[in-house]
Chain A
Amino acid sequence: MTTTSRRVAAGAAPTQEATEPVARRPLSVRTGQRLLVGLLLVAVLLPLVPLLIWSVAGQWRYPDMLPQQLSLRGVGLLVDPRSDILQGLGTSAGIATAVAVLACLIGFPAGRAIGLYRFRGRRAVQFLLLSPVIVPGLAVTLGIQVFFVRYHLSDSILGVVPVQLMPTVPYAAIILGAAFANLDIDYERQARALGAGPVRVLLFVTVPLLRPAIAVAALLTFLISWSEYVLTLLIGGGQVKTLPLLLFAAIGSSDTTAAAALAVLVIAPPLLLVVAATRLLSGRSGNGVGFGRL
């Protein structure tokens, strides 16, 4: 099987705890390492600090290190019925859910074909499935936008969901393909030999066996859709106001508190989802590979 899938595949396999390397190094080395790790963590977390502070800042003038006043105005703006934000939250969640479900439904059979069968043109299919992952969506979407306008799919969710399948289906197919490659097909044969029909085999054997990979594929495609900006802008024409579009507009405005509060709202669901799925995405597996494009 190919490598892309192999790299992603590890997630489906049971995680085995490797033996810890013997830590018999001198204390100073270990302290040095702790310092470096601490530095890394600071570097990872520091950029989020001003964001979090700004989201609850009432007034924060230069050069003070902390806001002059705290306020919940930013949070209030999020739930203000006059703003588009609550609606945007619904739009974003709806589109991302639809995209995740559709991408997994489409990626599942494709993953089965790639993972279980050897056939002529398999490399070509993989190449084709991989290319939208790498070629920027912007370049491709500029070309098709005119067709969405022509067929009245632009400016509506009906156009945005299909166009977001372009970057998500390949990931679903690659992840599920890797999972199918590691699937022991004899379980399906046994179920069939015991008289189960194809639907029962699928629902009670195949899907449960592949559940971790399906969860990762769904999570990843949800997150890709959740953070998508350019495709939604070009096809939605600014009419489909997902949270990234609202955030982009808020960043351009002068109200930093509003933008920061909205940004916190945008990152909260992905963070919760990733935390909930920590086990699936454990450091040992290569499942993180899809996150590059968020």
Chain B
Amino acid sequence: MTQPELRTRPPPTGPAATTRGRRRPANHRRRGVPRGLWIALLLAPALLVVGVFFLTGITQAVAQSLGYQPFLPGWRLSLDAYQGMFTDPAVRASLLLTARIAIIPTVLSAVLGVSAALLIRRLGRSRNWVSGIFQANLAVPHLVGALCMLLLLSQGGLLSRVSHAAGFTDTPAAFPALTGDEFGWAIIAAYVWKETPFLTVIALAALGRGVDDLENAARSLGARPWQRLVHVTLPVITPAVAGGAVLVFAFTAGSYEVPYLLGRPFPATLPVVALQHYNATDLTARPEAMAVAVVITVLSGLMVAAYLFIAGRLARRSL
């Protein structure tokens, strides 16, 4: 095929034959470029970026976790890093914490986000500015979110002062330790605060597409409010929200700043452990840092698969 074939439309009806003796427009030279090559050229810069950084990064992380050290003599392949990782108490403690601070915010923000979207949708004139505030929250960097939680939840923070004023606690130490704690309360709070508006916006977008008509149809067929919610509204927005929730899960499991600032050095989340090992003065800790990075990558790779699976279902369902 010599023509750039476009999606569903028929090929243009003949080249611009109406050029009336002028030179043909230069873009018609492209008709000489094979279609495959043209697509490859269009994709080349983006694939180069992703290929060079992303694929090299992953390959290198795997290779270095197996003991390979580029630019350094005397390396040998071994599985020591992985063996070390599975006996390392820091990593073992980290798995549970990482799962906790990823799963709880994901579930909570999905539930809260959908509820908030259902509420906001019913608002009248105020809907625009209420959803505007939710959107503005999306632009706040997670790093700032972590500082906010520190100032709000720490033992000298605003909530602790409120609790003092209300007569519940006398000293900062009497207030429960929510930051730098073992459970990760402040980390969870920071993520829920940041991700709920994100999923709200996604759910609102999904609700905008013809759900009203479906609900009215269900109503005229005699469906009660609860039935409409469970059998019409929720099924329509679930794929979009689930896709968003996968992004949230992968992000919360893999980000560094929030758990570093709001958590403890031990137990720490997997990304924090990876960086601790990486920054260790002992260079032999590098392979183990890479092994942790590989574990994070494999876990998030599973998330990509889940995301695509959900996204595929979304395509079939879209209205």
Taking the closest CB of chain B, its distance from the CB of A103, in whole angstroms, is: 9
Q: Is A166 an interface position by the 8 A CB rule?
A: yes
Per the bound structure, the CA–CA distance linking A189 and B3 in Å amounts to: 13
Per the bound structure, the CA–CA distance linking A138 and B275 in Å amounts to: 8
Q: Is the CB of A293 within 8 A of B251?
A: yes
Q: Is B120 an interface position by the 8 A CB rule?
A: yes
Q: Is B149 an interface position by the 8 A CB rule?
A: yes
- Chain B interface, DSSP helix/strand/loop, else mixed: helix
Binds B, one of A72-80, A81-89, A210-218, A255-263: A255-263
Q: Is the CB of B142 within 8 A of A227?
A: yes
Per the bound structure, the CA–CA distance linking A226 and B256 in Å amounts to: 16
Q: Is the CB of A195 within 8 A of B49?
A: no
Q: Is B221 an interface position by the 8 A CB rule?
A: no
Q: Is the CB of A134 within 8 A of B307?
A: yes
Q: Is B314 an interface position by the 8 A CB rule?
A: yes
Q: Is the CB of A62 within 8 A of B160?
A: yes
Per the bound structure, the CA–CA distance linking A183 and B60 in Å amounts to: 40
List B residues 26-59 near A (Cβ within 8 Å): 26-27, 30, 35-36, 39, 41-47, 49-51, 53-54, 56-59
Selected from A114, A135, A147, the residue in CB contact (under 8 A) with B250 is A135
Known contacts A63-B165, A140-B53; is-contact A2 B315 (Cβ 8 Å): yes
Known contacts A142-B290, A256-B151, A281-B135; is-contact A2 B165 (Cβ 8 Å): no
Per the bound structure, the CA–CA distance linking A92 and B131 in Å amounts to: 28
Selected from B4, B60, B290, the residue in CB contact (under 8 A) with A147 is B60
Residues in chain A near residue B294, CB distance under 8 A? 139
Interface size on B, residues (CB 8 A): 131
Q: Which residue of B lies closest to A198 (CB)?
A: B27
Residues in chain B near residue A292, CB distance under 8 A? 195, 198, 244, 247-248, 251
Q: Is the CB of A141 within 8 A of B122?
A: no
Q: Is B16 an interface position by the 8 A CB rule?
A: yes
Q: Is the CB of B135 within 8 A of A140?
A: no
Q: Is A207 an interface position by the 8 A CB rule?
A: no
Q: Is the CB of B212 within 8 A of A274?
A: no
Chain A 133-154, CB within 8 Å of chain B: the 1/0 string?
Answer: 1111111111110110010000
Per the bound structure, the CA–CA distance linking A83 and B2 in Å amounts to: 60
Chain B 68-93, CB within 8 Å of chain A: the 1/0 string?
Answer: 00110000000000000000000000
Residues in chain A near residue B250, CB distance under 8 A? 134-136
Inter-chain residue pair count (beta carbon < 8 A): 372
Chain A 38-64, CB within 8 Å of chain B: the 1/0 string?
Answer: 001101111111110010000000111
Known contacts A65-B165, A185-B9, A278-B132; is-contact A37 B143 (Cβ 8 Å): no
Q: Is the CB of A116 within 8 A of B244?
A: no
Q: Is B137 an interface position by the 8 A CB rule?
A: yes
Per the bound structure, the CA–CA distance linking A109 and B48 in Å amounts to: 13
Selected from A143, A193, A247, the residue in CB contact (under 8 A) with B60 is A143
Q: Is B243 an interface position by the 8 A CB rule?
A: yes
Q: Is A289 an interface position by the 8 A CB rule?
A: yes
Q: Is B230 an interface position by the 8 A CB rule?
A: no
Selected from A146, A198, A274, the residue in CB contact (under 8 A) with B70 is A146
Q: Is the CB of A260 within 8 A of B151?
A: yes
Q: Which residue of A lies closest to B257 (CB)?
A: A229
Q: Is the CB of B49 within 8 A of A166?
A: yes
Q: Is the CB of B56 within 8 A of A185?
A: no
Question: 23 A–B contact pairs at CB < 8 A?
Answer: A1-B315, A44-B197, A46-B152, A54-B151, A110-B43, A113-B42, A117-B5, A118-B5, A119-B36, A129-B47, A131-B301, A136-B254, A144-B53, A166-B57, A196-B25, A248-B257, A263-B144, A263-B148, A266-B141, A266-B143, A274-B135, A293-B247, A294-B139
Given contacts A198-B26, A267-B144, 18 further A-B contacts (CB under 8 A): A3-B311, A44-B137, A48-B140, A48-B148, A132-B50, A134-B247, A150-B71, A166-B50, A192-B16, A229-B256, A251-B143, A274-B135, A275-B132, A284-B204, A292-B195, A292-B198, A292-B244, A294-B140
CB within 8 Å of B: which residues of A? 1-4, 6-7, 10, 18-21, 23, 33, 36-37, 40-41, 43-51, 54, 62-65, 105-107, 109-110, 112-114, 116-119, 125, 127-144, 146-147, 150, 162-163, 165-166, 169-170, 173, 181, 185-186, 189, 192-193, 195-198, 201, 223, 226-227, 229-230, 244, 247-248, 251, 256, 259-260, 263, 266-267, 270-271, 273-275, 278, 281, 283-286, 288-289, 291-294
